[in-house]
Amino acid sequence: MNAPPPPKVAGIDPTVPTPAHTVAPAPPAPEAGPAPDVPAGTPPPVAAPDASGSLLQDQLAGWVSDLTTLHELTERMCRTSALQDALEELLRAGAALVGARRGLVALEPGDGLGPRTTLGLGLGRADLGHIETVPRDALLTDGTGGPAVHADLFAEPGLDPRHREVAARLGYAASYALPLTTDSARLGAAVWLYDEPAAPDEHHRHLIGRYLRQAAEHLALLLEVERTRACAATLTEELLPSRLPRLPGVQLAVRHRTGPRGGGDWYDALPLPDAALGLSVGSVTGGGPGAVAAMGRLRASLRAYAVMEGEDPVAVLSDLELLLRLTEPARSATALFAYCEPAARRITLAGAGHSPPLLLGERRTEYVETSLSAPLGMLACWEAPSVEFRVGPGETVLLYTDGLLHRTGEAMDRAFARLHSAAASVPRALRGDPGAVADHVLRTLLPEDGTGDDEDVVLLAARFD
């Protein structure tokens, strides 16, 4: 009777030869004869162990152990969601499979679209710098794109001199490198370094080869995600001001963090006639390229309305509301526009579904009271009036998007309280620099564990002299 083949585990299709049999053929039965006399109480004879069956059991146990190991390592790789985390996991798993202590992975997509990076295991930045000077063909491939095995770098004839020199400097005596490839793309290569002359045997080469085939597929997916995020971030940055204007009587600073999907948060600072300044922040609902494109259209329209009638923020937002309702009825947006007169330190602002600005001074830290209004695209008619207030010398006005509050992970009332506390805790020595004020608020307010990182954040600080 044949033994059943071992089950497939986690997508790994092991090439396991089917054994010819599991039990040795029974010897021919002896001829029947008179039964010998057996004393009462004598235990039955114990059959001698079958050497062939024990060997097969050992082989099956080894195959199951290998498959279990590959399953666990592949599952850990698939749980990674960031490219750098996946590369670090690949290095750790590969080092365990080939019995090495150090290694590096060079991500160099064959299509040339990037990103390109080199990550080390047990290697410092200076060590990676030395290894970068070794020709790629000498270190990572055998010249034909296959594995590069250097079992003894100091005894191997014809080795690249630079490779031997770097090995002596870093203290490794052998290396084993494999390409990272999928069925359709070349991603780069990984190399593991041994402190003594060594090389993985055929069994461990088979295991690491199977693991890298699975890992490369996951890396290819993360690479596409990384490229998409980078494109969305680049598009967003290109649609926002490349620099802030410089006007007498006011200093500006902005901090903008884009979520992985590329959201629709924006900011703007626009010089206006009569030495005035227009400041705006806002957010378009949704995410991805569609929200980014809508944000660009909305911000460009707001700039035009601000130039024509910026001294009346309600008129600016009313025009923007009408435009959004007519051209993109399926979208809504929040917005705040402030008309600033730096010489008089006077600000007139209006908001649509947006959080109130925060005023930070030597003697006060308080939210500006603004009229309530629904978001743009949801107004039947404009009912919220504008608000006018003055700021004192050296005071800073903070404009921000709701993503700053959402990233705290708190309910909105607690998030507002935490923002107020973060602003009030800015040291006096930093309050003369709006950039330092913004950095302190973000550092104090946002959690270090990355909670809410899918939200866009805009924090615009304006300090009046």
Per residue in 188-217, pLDDT (tens digit) is: 999 999 999 999 999 999 999 999 999 999
Instruction: Give the residue, 24 or 60, on which the prediction is more confident.
Output: 60
Assigned token pair, 22: 């599991």
Which tokens go with 247?
Answer: 């006007």
Whether the pLDDT of residue 245 is over 60: the answer is: yes
Q: Domains plus CATH for the chain?
A: 63-232 (3.30.450.40), 240-464 (3.60.40.10)
Residue 165 predicted with pLDDT over 80: yes
Residue 279, beta-bridge partner list: 269, 338
pLDDT tens track for 93-110? 999 999 999 999 999 998
H helices of 143-201, in order, are 161-170
Q: Name the nearest CA neighbour of 244 among 393, 465, 463, 440.
A: 463
The single-letter DSSP state of residue 361 is -
Of 86-90, 111-115, 316-320, 433-437, the least confident: 111-115
User: In 319-354, which positions are buried (b, 16+ CB within 10 angstroms) versus exposed (e)?
Assistant: bbbebbeeebeebbbbbbbbbbbbeebebbbbbbbb
What pLDDT score does 91 carry? 96
Burial class for 428, CB neighbours closer than 10 Å (0-12, 13-18, 19+): exposed
- Long-range CB pairs of 151-154 (<8 Å, 24+ gap) are 151/197, 151/198, 151/199, 152/197, 153/197, 154/197
Phi, psi (deg, nearest 5) at residue 214: -70, -40
Mean pLDDT of the chain: 85
Residue with the two structure tokens 């600073």: 253
